Amino acid sequence: MNFLKFFWFSGRAPRWLYWLFVLPPWFLIALAFNNFMFPENQTLPILTNWISDLTAKMTDPSVQSSDKTFSDHASNLAFLLFAYIYNVVIVKRLHDRDKSGFWLIGIYLPYILFFVYFIFRDHLPEIKNSDFLVISFIISKILSWIVSCWMLIELGFFAGTKGPNKYGPDPKEKSV
């Protein structure tokens, strides 16, 4: 298998590749959730400790960037690399369904809108103390849930376009 194809957004990807990149993060999130909700029954304590340390370093204002260790920087780089490859696989899977890679924006749009609100909320004092924060949070969560369900069904269960499409040859067909 040519691993360099995971760094370019062109081409198509079969369903098994999508599942290969989707299931491990879900599994780790489920383990982390289990460890935080039921600390007496930890299934993977190293994961809980790593997430706790990472969260503490991200939220504690007294932690300077010089206090971060090599492993902190390495884990951040590994996360960025995985996130990039994950997005490449999603775009390739969208291509296999004969959809543009710009649909990826729809996946992140609820999070982007909520982030933009947090940036500008101090400049909008009339909504700072209103219920707008709660309503926008609920709406962004509902939107992200709907988009996530759509993405799971569309990319994980539906077969790709049969034969070549405008994004490339069918990944299921054997090249001669």
Q: Are 104 and 87 in contact (CB under 8 A)?
A: yes
Q: Which of 163, 15, 158 is nearest to 90 (CA)?
A: 15
Work out the average pLDDT over 93-116.
83
What whole-number distance in Å separates Cα of residue 106 and Cα of residue 40?
A: 39
Distance between CA 156 and CA 111 in Å, rounded?
22
Rounded Cα distance between 31 and 28, Å, is 5
Look at residue 92 in the predicted model and tell me its pLDDT. 93
Per-residue pLDDT tens for 52-102? 666 666 556 565 555 556 666 676 787 788 888 888 999 999 999 999 988
Higher pLDDT, 30 or 57: 30
Query: Residue 176: its pLDDT value, please?
Result: 47
Percentage above 70 pLDDT, the chain: 60
Q: Which residues, 6+ apart, have CB-to-CB distance to 87 below 8 Å?
A: 104
Q: Which of 32, 35, 14, 36 minimizes the C-alpha distance to 24?
A: 32
Closest CA to 140 of 116, 171, 160, 156: 116
Percent of the chain with pLDDT over 90: 18
Quick one: pLDDT at residue 63?
58
Backbone CA torsion sign across 78, 102, 108, 143: negative
The three-point CA angle 50-53-58 to 5° equals 125
- Check pLDDT > 90 for residue 21: no
Instruction: Mean pLDDT check: name the lowest of 22-26, 30-34, 87-91, 94-98.
Output: 30-34
Tell me how far CA of residue 122 lies from CA of 68, 73, 127, 145, 151, in angstroms: 30, 31, 9, 27, 33
